């Protein structure tokens, strides 16, 4: 018995699967091996200078030093609306249809507290970013997991949801371009999701945080481009990946005003909003000509081409992702996702994430994040060739 018993809620958190791999990583690092880390989805490219400069000026102004509005600066929300109009031709009312977030993880985690009652059902795709499920569980909701498999292009099959679950479901979480599979969805899929959610009275919750990280001229759609989408859904967005701002913590939720009001009510009782100076830097990012985004996408695309063609030459079956900085790699015959991750770590000093960690259908895959320079990817390929 310790000094206190943590809340039963914490027992909902699944066991940490990577303890063994973490230990191995430490042992191998201690031996002096130069580890190539393709594990974390955190951009290595710096925040573009014009954004840093804007922040520097903003932080000098004492007006930014006070409590922000929990819902965000009006000027930031107006910039988000302008950006959605320019990028997706979607109209948003900045006052009621945009909410500033302290990173979109914060919004995703808090949303179920404003929407779910205990025993509610949320539909969640899997493998997935874990926060959709954990946020739901913390709010007492039950998750109905929808597998994403290669045979269905990593899209959930809406016909597989039993009508009983569909009738009782409150929210449907989905994410395209997708982490971890790198899969993309077109507007036609979004239309089918909207129809499904309308039929069963479900809130569609789309995570679009990789919409700007796309290659070969491909431009991902917003769920809100579907006519009437705002009546039934919201979309999460983040400046983290688009502008290499993961540490800054700035994101937004847009769409249905009643859902955003429920999330806002939770937020106003928990946090006090994003630092105004960061929001001012965010305005500069959203209002910019997006040249930095194109420049960074070209770098990620070159990395993708390097790793995918290199892996294919080594005999790996891998499809180049059209978006995201992830490669979803089927593991060779005879390996599980865990044993393959251990194998490349021990034999080649390369860190990858076992797909199983993102959910059961991720078994048989590992995720590679393209967050190291091209030369390091070439070095990784050279090491893989030797094992
Ligand atoms: C990185 C990531 C996020 C988190 O974004 P923040 O704005 O940094 O909190 C959300 N969803 C997915 C799918 C991600 O990969």
Per the CB < 8 A criterion, the answer to whether 329 and 368 are in contact is yes
Containing domain of residue 380, as a range? 8-46+291-386
Q: Are residues 62 and 128 in the same domain?
A: yes
Predicted local confidence at residue 178, as pLDDT = 98
Cα-to-centroid distance, 238 and ligand 1 (Å): 7
Per the CB < 8 A criterion, the answer to whether 276 and 63 are in contact is yes
Cα-to-centroid distance, 136 and ligand 1 (Å): 16
- Give pTM, 2 decimals: 0.97
Give the Cα separation of 189 and 185 in Å (integer).
6
CA torsion 367→369→373→375, rounded to 10°? Answer: 0
Last residue of a domain, one of 258, 287, 316: 287
Q: Are residues 122 and 56 in the same domain?
A: yes
Beta-bridge mates of residue 138: none
Q: Are residues 42 and 53 in the same domain?
A: no
Last residue of a domain, one of 287, 307, 323: 287
Cα-to-centroid distance, 33 and ligand 1 (Å): 30
- What is the DSSP annotation of 216-270? TT--PPPGGGSTTGGGTEEEEEESTTTTT-TTT--EEEEE-HHHHHHHHHHHHHH
Q: Say if 3 falls within a structural domain.
A: no
Query: Residue 289 burial (CB < 10 Å; 0-12/13-18/19+)?
Result: exposed
| Total domains present in the chain | 2
Cα-to-centroid distance, 41 and ligand 1 (Å): 9
276-287 vs 74-88: helix crossing angle, rounded to 10:
20
* Nearest protein Cα to ligand 1, atom 3: 105
Last residue of a domain, one of 271, 287, 303: 287
Q: Are residues 41 and 54 in the same domain?
A: no
Predicted local confidence at residue 207, as pLDDT = 98
Which amino acids bring their CB within 6 angstroms of ligand 1?
A: 41, 103-105, 129, 175, 179, 207, 209, 238, 240-241, 246, 251
Residue ranges in the chain modelled with pLDDT below 50: none
Distance of CA 386 to the CA centre of its chain: 33
Q: Say if 337 falls within a structural domain.
A: yes
Q: Are residues 184 and 249 in the same domain?
A: yes
Q: Which of 108, 241, 248 for a ligand 1 pocket mutation test, highest count of atoms within 8 Å of Cβ?
A: 241
The C-alpha angle with vertex 229 and arms to 226 and 233, in degrees rounded to 5, equals 135
Distance of CA 185 to the CA centre of its chain: 15
Predicted local confidence at residue 1, as pLDDT = 60
Per the CB < 8 A criterion, the answer to whether 254 and 80 are in contact is yes
Cα-to-centroid distance, 252 and ligand 1 (Å): 11
Give the number of other CB atoms < 10 A from CB of residue 53.
Answer: 12
Q: Are residues 229 and 94 in the same domain?
A: yes
Domain at 163, CATH number:
3.40.640.10
Q: Say if 143 falls within a structural domain.
A: yes
* Nearest protein Cα to ligand 1, atom 4: 105
């Amino acid at each position: 018995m310790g000094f206190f018993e943590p809340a039963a809620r914490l027992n909902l958190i699944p066991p940490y699967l990577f303890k063994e791999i973490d230990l191995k990583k430490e042992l191998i690092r201690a031996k002096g091996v130069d580890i190539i880390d393709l594990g974390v989805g955190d951009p290595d490219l710096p925040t573009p200078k014009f954004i840093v400069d804007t922040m520097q000026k903003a932080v000098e102004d004492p007006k930014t030093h006070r409590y922000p509005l929990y819902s965000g600066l009006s000027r930031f929300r107006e910039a988000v609306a302008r950006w959605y109009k320019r990028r997706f031709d979607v109209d948003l009312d900045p006052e009621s249809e945009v909410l500033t977030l302290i990173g979109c993880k914060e919004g995703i985690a808090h949303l179920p507290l404003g929407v779910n009652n205990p025993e509610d059902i949320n539909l969640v795709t899997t493998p997935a970013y874990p926060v959709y499920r954990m946020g739901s569980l913390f709010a007492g909701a039950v998750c109905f997991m929808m597998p994403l498999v290669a045979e269905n292009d990593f899209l959930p099959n809406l016909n597989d949801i039993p009508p009983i679950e569909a009738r009782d479901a409150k929210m449907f979480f989905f994410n395209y371009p997708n982490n971890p599979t790198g899969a993309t969805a077109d507007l036609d899929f979004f239309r089918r999701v909207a129809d499904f959610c309308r039929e069963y009275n479900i809130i569609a919750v789309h995570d679009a945080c990789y919409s700007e990280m796309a290659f070969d001229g491909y431009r991902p759609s917003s769920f809100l481009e579907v006519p009437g989408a705002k009546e039934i859904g919201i979309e999460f967005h983040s400046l983290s990946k688009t502008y290499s701002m993961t540490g800054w913590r700035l994101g937004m939720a847009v769409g249905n005003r009643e859902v955003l009001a429920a999330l806002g009510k939770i937020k106003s009782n928990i946090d006090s909003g994003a630092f105004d100076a960061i929001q001012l830097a965010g305005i500069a990012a959203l209002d910019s000509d997006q040249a930095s985004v194109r420049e960074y996408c070209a770098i990620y695309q070159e990395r993708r081409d390097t790793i995918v063609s290199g892996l294919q030459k080594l005999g790996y079956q891998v499809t180049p992702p059209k978006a995201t900085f992830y490669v979803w790699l089927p593991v060779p015959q005879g390996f599980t996702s865990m044993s393959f991750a251990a194998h490349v770590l021990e034999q080649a000093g390369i860190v990858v994430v076992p797909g199983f960690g993102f959910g059961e259908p991720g078994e048989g895959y590992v995720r590679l994040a393209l967050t190291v320079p091209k030369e390091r990817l070439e070095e990784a390929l050279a090491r893989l060739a030797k094992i």
